[in-house]
Each structure stands twice: as structure tokens, then as C-alpha cells.
Amino acid sequence: MPEKTVSIPDMSCGHCLANVKREAGEVQGVTSVEGDLESKKVTFQWDAPAEWSQIEAALKDAGYPPQA
């Protein structure tokens, strides 16, 4: 199962983290989204048919662009 941890600098509150989880979770195949507001880091896990590019696009569209 692929996994990626990224920084999301625009995430500043629990509502932001909930939005990130919801948006990423809407991508078919995403199995886990765990985040930490203090560090602004979020870890994603997914299976096929999801691909990182789809998750990244969903986050960008929601206003939470991830940074490596």
C-alpha cells in the first residue's frame, strides 16, 4: 500500500484538517488520512485505483496544496 507524508502549510485549524481528510477521502482507493495540525503534516495511504496525482489534485482544488 503506497504511503506519502506531505506538509500542508495552509492547514491552520481542525476544520482545515477535516476538509483535507474529506477531500482526500473522496478519491476512490484512499484508505487512510492522518494529520497533525502542529506540524502541518498529513500522511495518506491508498490502494488502486487511487494515485498520488489524483489525491494531490483534489487537495489543490480544495485550497490545500501539499508540499513535499
CA distance 23 to 32: 12
In the chain, what are the domains?
3-61 (3.30.70.100)
Element (H, E) at 1: none
Q: Write down the pTM of the prediction.
A: 0.94
Contact 16, 10 (CB under 8 A): yes
Q: In what order do the strands lie in the sheet with 3-7?
A: 3-7, 41-46, 30-36
Radius of gyration of the chain (CA): 11
- For residue range 24-64, what is the model confidence (pLDDT) as tens digits? 999 999 999 999 999 999 999 999 999 999 999 999 999 99
Instruction: Say whether 60 sits in a helix, a strand or coil.
Output: helix
